[in-house]
Amino acid sequence: MAWLNDVIQGILLGGLYALFAAGLSLIFGVMRLVNLAHGDLSLLAAYAALLIVGPLDINPFLSIFLVVLLVAVFGYILQRGFLNFALEDDPMPTILATFGLSIVIQNLLLEVFSANSKGLDAGTIETQALKITDQISIGWFPLITLVTSVVVLFALQLYLNRTRMGRAFRATSDNQEAAQLMGIDNRHLYGLAMAIALGIVAIAGVFLGIRTTFNPSVGPARLIFAYEAVIIGGLGSVWGTLVGGMLLGVAQTIGAHLDPGWGVLAGHLLFLAVLVLRPRGLFAKQVQA
Amino acid sequence: MSGRQLRVERQTRASRVGVPAAIIILAIAVSLPLWGSSNLMKTGVTFLTLVALAQMWNLLAGYAGLLSVGQQAFVGIGAYGVWALAEKGGVHPFVAVPIAGLIAAAFALPTAGLTFRLRGGYFAVGTWVVAEVFRLLVINIAWLGGGSGGSITSVGRIARDTREAAVYWLALGVAVGAVVLVYLILRSKGGLALASIRDDQTAAAGLGVNTVRSKLWVYVLSAFGCGTTGAVIYLNLLTVQPEGAFSLNWSALMIFTVVIGGVGTIEGPILGALIFFGLQQVLSDYGSWYLVLIGTIAATSAVFAKQGLWGILNRRWTLELFPVRRRVDLDSDADPPATEPDAQPTDRPKGSASAPSEDG
């Protein structure tokens, strides 16, 4: 039964990872950009929530709306003012630029907020749980996280499939030049993609801040978990990413159950195993030439 | 009768001046322990190992197109290698340095087997994950000191003056060795293959270059260089800890140095190391603000000045100190340089066309 509990907790944790991963996957799909600062940007959102929650005296859940807006606007400006100039066939400039950004954000946060751990206090909901049996209980907060994640992914999927802008995203993803010839403004589109991606990861950042304490050095690990969820699930598959995140979460909770030091390591090993056995991931979209 | 003679050469005017200058600088550097203070030697080790690491990353990214963000794996393995060999194996710490490099190279093979399945940005994060795996494994292995690491006590038994001088010379060795290694690779047939991969991988493969094998070689060599350098760094620091030895900051160090100096040149990383090191020293009282500043410069130059500072300087004046390219010179007394439009200004330094030729 204890194992079943691990699996359930892992699946719930996977919801958070999918929330981290969705934006990473979206911008890679649209503009072939791997954002190495993704995790640090989510942390930036957590710190932004920290700044907002105090003076306004509101629940962190409410701060999400403002934080998402702020981070999304920042994302649009970042893309149009900087990263758009780095986009080319060679991935080197974007990797180096986002890596630099990652280190800059980490050290800025370190200087401004110090290395001390901070946390967002969402009240009693953080500790309340739905007791199912003596050994299995589902925390309300992890459940809210998973539901939010599913809703966000569903909304993203709808947006991409049903709206005019979503069609432009998919067109650009399939063939950038042809899309441009059809009158799509790439620069604006990329800015919008980054805004959406960072808006989603801002939600993840605030949820992370409620779930655990955080400090400026935990950003890179968020990027790595998100990336692993994307690769395990398979590139280009929204629901694959969710399953990838859940598998990663389960591997981590089971690993941690065996030995507290093995949690994260078990997740990495699962990722490497998938890389060896199914390099395209478990649910990769059919790759077209 | 013919007014034109073709001359193929590698030397540039700068390299002709550069070689004697380099010998003088090297002589000063070698003799430093004889006249320099202990502090100066320690600072020297920091700078020289930065040059070595930057050269190794540049070899990977600048020539083989392998954008690794995980070279801290091999710095850490080198550090732990020298520690384990000296403390557990009873090997003399200085002898252990190159062996630690070989251990890192050995670990590079399975790492390549995994990460070479990924491309571009995904390769970058993949190498990072593998570095994290090594860090977590070390933390979980009690024999390696677990999370708290250990001290290299055996090197402490050597007299302090001797030890500091020896570690300094080792650092000088890895820095010069890294530069010479990259230079020799680039001048070899394999280097030609690498340059072709850098310029156009598909075309290179089409012309019969075994791109995977070339990349694998570079990856393993770079791991060896990073491992050896990591061993020297930790002989200087005397304590190893998993968080420090496998820190992402090693990658930040190498990447920023190379990007600011100039990717894909031998001179760039040296220039970048001077800038990085200078800023680090000047801003040493301001915590990690130097990383904020250097990171900003590096990110900006990665987008807006891809050739780095050396590229900018080299475009203005042909300065190649380590010429690896062959240039065709038209030795033309009848043809004043002005009639030849400056098609390739970087390949043809002004004035060298009329320089007396000895082998022509």
What are the tens digits of pLDDT across the range B105-155?
999 999 999 999 888 888 999 999 999 999 999 999 989 988 888 898 888
- The answer as to whether A223 is a domain residue is no
Interface of A with B in 14-33 (CB under 8 A): 28, 32-33
- The answer as to whether A254 is a domain residue is no
pLDDT at B327: 66
User: Which pLDDT band holds residue A281 (cuts at 50, 70, 90)?
Assistant: confident
pLDDT at A173: 83
Side-chain-facing half-sphere of B130: CA atoms under 13 Å: 28
- The answer as to whether A260 is a domain residue is no
Interface of A with B in 97-116 (CB under 8 A): 97-101, 103-104, 107-108, 110-111
CA distance A283 to A230: 10
Mutate to test the interface with B, among A275, A277, A278, A280 (most CBs of B within 10 A): A275
Least Cα separation, residue B206 to chain A (angstroms): 19
When mean pLDDT is compared over B87-91, B212-216, B245-249, the highest value belongs to B245-249
Least Cα separation, residue B261 to chain A (angstroms): 14
Nearest C-alpha in B relative to A217: B248
Mutate to test the interface with B, among A28, A88, A96, A231 (most CBs of B within 10 A): A96
Q: What is the DSSP letter of B328?
A: E
Side-chain-facing half-sphere of B142: CA atoms under 13 Å: 0
CA distance B259 to A105: 18
Here the tokens at position A88 are: 């080319």
A55 contact B CB<8A: no
Contacts of A5 (CB under 8 A, 6+ apart): A135, A136, A137
Among A36-45, B16-25, B39-48, B254-263, name the one with the lowest average pLDDT.
B16-25
Say which residue, A3 or B331, is predicted with more confidence: A3
Mean pLDDT estimate for chain A: 90
pLDDT at A88: 85
- The answer as to whether A278 is a domain residue is no
Here the tokens at position B285 are: 């009282």
CA distance A188 to A173: 14
- The answer as to whether A1 is a domain residue is no
Q: Which residues pair with B328 in a beta bridge?
A: B8
pLDDT of B355 higher than 50: no
pLDDT at B213: 87
- The answer as to whether A164 is a domain residue is yes
A174 contact B CB<8A: no
pLDDT of B356 higher than 60: no
pLDDT at B78: 97
Q: What is the pLDDT of residues B171-183, one digit of tens each?
A: 999 999 999 999 9
User: Which pLDDT band holds residue B63 (cuts at 50, 70, 90)?
Assistant: confident
pLDDT at B350: 39
Least Cα separation, residue A22 to chain B (angstroms): 15
| Average pLDDT of the residues in A281-286 | 72
Mean pLDDT estimate for chain B: 85
Say which residue, B19 or A85, is predicted with more confidence: A85
Among A183-192, B3-12, B339-348, name the one with the lowest average pLDDT.
B339-348
User: Which pLDDT band holds residue B318 (cuts at 50, 70, 90)?
Assistant: low
pLDDT at B149: 87
Among A216-220, B52-56, B319-323, name the one with the lowest average pLDDT.
B319-323
Residue A95 to residue B121, Cβ atoms within 8 A? yes
CB-CB neighbors (< 8 A) of B69 in chain A: 36, 95, 99
Tell me the CA distances in angstroms from A13 to A7, A21, B161, one per residue in order. Answer: 10, 13, 55
Residue B133 to residue A272, Cβ atoms within 8 A? yes
Residue A100 to residue B133, Cβ atoms within 8 A? no
Contacts of B204 (CB under 8 A, 6+ apart): B193, B196, B197, B211
pLDDT of B6 higher than 60: yes
Nearest C-alpha in B relative to A90: B120
When mean pLDDT is compared over A2-16, A35-49, B153-167, B319-333, the highest value belongs to A35-49
CA distance A17 to A21: 6
Angle, vertex CA B23, rays to CA B17 and CA B27, nearest 5: 150
pLDDT at B354: 38
Say which residue, A57 or B276, is predicted with more confidence: B276
User: Which pLDDT band holds residue B357 (cuts at 50, 70, 90)?
Assistant: very low
Q: What is the pLDDT of residues A83-133, one digit of tens each?
A: 999 988 888 999 999 999 999 999 999 999 998 999 888 888 888 888 888
Contacts of A284 (CB under 8 A, 6+ apart): A234, A235, A236, A237, A240
A284 contact B CB<8A: no
Among A33-37, B215-219, B323-327, name the one with the lowest average pLDDT.
B323-327
Location of structure tokens 């557990």: B88
Closest to A213 in 3D by CA, of A102, A50, A58, A24: A50
pLDDT at B4: 64
Nearest C-alpha in A relative to B66: A92
Among A146-160, A268-282, B281-295, B318-332, name the one with the lowest average pLDDT.
B318-332
Nearest-by-Cβ selection for A272 from B114, B263, B303: B114
Nearest C-alpha in B relative to A104: B292
pLDDT at B307: 86
Say which residue, B353 or B104, is predicted with more confidence: B104
- The answer as to whether A141 is a domain residue is yes
pLDDT of B1 higher than 50: no
Location of structure tokens 């890192």: B104
CB-CB neighbors (< 8 A) of B125 in chain A: 34, 36, 223-224, 227
The total number of structural domains in chain A stands at 1
pLDDT of B340 higher than 50: no
pLDDT of B349 higher than 50: no
- The answer as to whether A277 is a domain residue is no
Residue A93 to residue B302, Cβ atoms within 8 A? yes
Q: What is the sign of the dihedral through the CA atoms of A46, A47, A50 and A53?
A: negative
| Centroid of chain to Cα B310 | 15
Nearest-by-Cβ selection for B259 from A28, A96, A110: A96
pLDDT of A249 higher than 90: yes
Tell me the CA distances in angstroms from B19 to A16, B14, B177, B261, one per residue in order. Answer: 58, 9, 16, 20
User: Which pLDDT band holds residue B274 (cuts at 50, 70, 90)?
Assistant: very high
Q: What is the pLDDT of residues B81-116, one digit of tens each?
A: 999 999 998 899 999 999 999 999 999 999 999 999
Among A65-79, A126-140, A142-156, B46-60, name the one with the lowest average pLDDT.
A126-140
pLDDT at B243: 92
pLDDT of B360 higher than 80: no
Residue A111 to residue B289, Cβ atoms within 8 A? yes
Q: Where are the beta strands (DSSP E) in chain B?
A: 4-9, 150-151, 239-240, 327-332
pLDDT at A174: 84
Contacts of A40 (CB under 8 A, 6+ apart): A101, A102, A105, A106, A109, A219, A220, A222, A223
Full residue range of the structural domain in which residue A198 is found: 14-218
Q: Name the pTM for this structure.
A: 0.88
Nearest-by-Cβ selection for A265 from B69, B133, B300: B133
pLDDT at B343: 41
